[in-house]
Structure 1
Amino acid sequence: MDEPVTAIVPDVLQDLLQAQLRVVLCGTAASTVSAAAGAYYANKQNKFWKILHETKLIPEPLQPHQYRDLLRHGIGLTDLVKTHFGMDNQIPLTKLDDPRARLSASIAAFRPKFLAFTSKTAGQKFFGGKRDCGGQSERIGDTRVWILPSTSGAANGSWRPEVWHRFADEVRKKT
């Protein structure tokens, strides 16, 4: 009897991780625009790059194609779901056991000071239930965990930059 063949699905965007990061920012999954561009947060309507500069987490504005430059500022990037892309409601979030374990293992291995989910959806799916934005009581090892409001243009109605500013203030205090 033949063994079943399991296809290995490549990551849509490669993780941007290394040791001694201040922050790892984690989305739910790459958007369709980001997948096509091969760069994180590439949709022109997304406020991600603007808020990173506005909060002074990065000293100069960057464009999506410059995402690798975030490492110079102690910031890494990943997504909860690495093998699919699209809007949050298009991602097979019911199959998150492996992504949760993968993310936890990455954070435990690289040990950033902070892990911040860049949407309430990503944070809630990671924790498996309803959560508010802000600092969370749980940690992954010594890594503090935050849930931030989505920077997506599709989430403009729930945009709260003050939470991003509070997060940046905490990062500066602890790093």
Structure 2
Amino acid sequence: MDGPVLPDHLGPGLRAVFCGTAPGLASAARGHYYAGPGNRFWEYVHAAGIVPVRLAPGDDARVTGYGIGLTDLVKGMAQSHDRGLPYDVPALAEKVAAHRPSWVAFTSKEAGSQAARWLGCPRPALGAQDWTFESARVFVLPSPSGRNQGRASYDGRATRLEWWAELGRMLSPA
């Protein structure tokens, strides 16, 4: 495929850039981030106080107005799994260096692990990290995907939303 499956939604001085691995097949088909059935990204960013209103996948182009951005580590293809993808961490580093967000929030351990590996850091747990990514603080979130439900715990928390709410408390208000 030529060009990105989904365009980046970035701008200068964002509070956080949310970075996933690659668009899922449903997101690619609908042309919007986190549009898969059962994906709770939009619910979580609102419930965690990261954005003041409930947004939907069709609102993804508006997120920079709320101080957040969206991108992925793989831009040229959609996926149904995270195995064997051509992750482009250097391209993410260029985007973060250019836009200077306060935080990079990886929306899965896999995405956070790819960045950590590129930097030579250990595999991250969920939560705030003790390393930065192009001067941005780093937070690793549990995936909002519908496929990541039903676990007994998420690194010691009962629900995924607890991690998202912790990030929400760390970000300045929308």
TM over 0.5: yes
User: What is the CA distance between 1:84 and its match in structure 2?
Assistant: 1.7
Tell me the distance in 1 between the aligned counterparts of 2:172 and 2:81: 30
SS at match of 1:88: coil
Tell me the distance in 2 between the aligned counterparts of 1:122 and 1:25: 10
Query: 2:110 maps to which residue?
Result: 121
User: What is the CA distance between 1:172 and its match in structure 2?
Assistant: 2.4
Q: Which letter does structure 2 place at the counterpart of 1:162?
A: E
Runs of 4+ with deviation above 6 angstroms: none
Aligned ranges 1:32-47 → 2 under 5 Å: 32-47=25-40
Does structure 1 residue 101 correspond to structure 2 residue 90? Answer: yes
Residues 131-165 of structure 1 show CA distances to partners (whole Å, capped at 9, x for unaligned) of 20111111134310111000000011255211111
Which of 1 and 2 has greater Rg?
1
TM (norm. structure 1) is 0.87
TM (norm. structure 2) is 0.87
Residues 21 and 82, structure 2, Cα contact 8 Å, conserved in 1: no
Residues 80 and 126, structure 1, Cα contact 8 Å, conserved in 2: no
Tell me the distance in 2 between the aligned counterparts of 1:34 and 1:58: 21
Aligned ranges 1:22-37 → 2 under 5 Å: 22-37=15-30
Q: Which has the higher helix share?
A: 1
Mind listing any 5+ residue stretches in structure 2 that lack a counterpart?
none
SS at match of 1:89: coil
Mind listing any 5+ residue stretches in structure 1 that lack a counterpart?
1-7
Query: 2:3 maps to which residue?
Result: 10
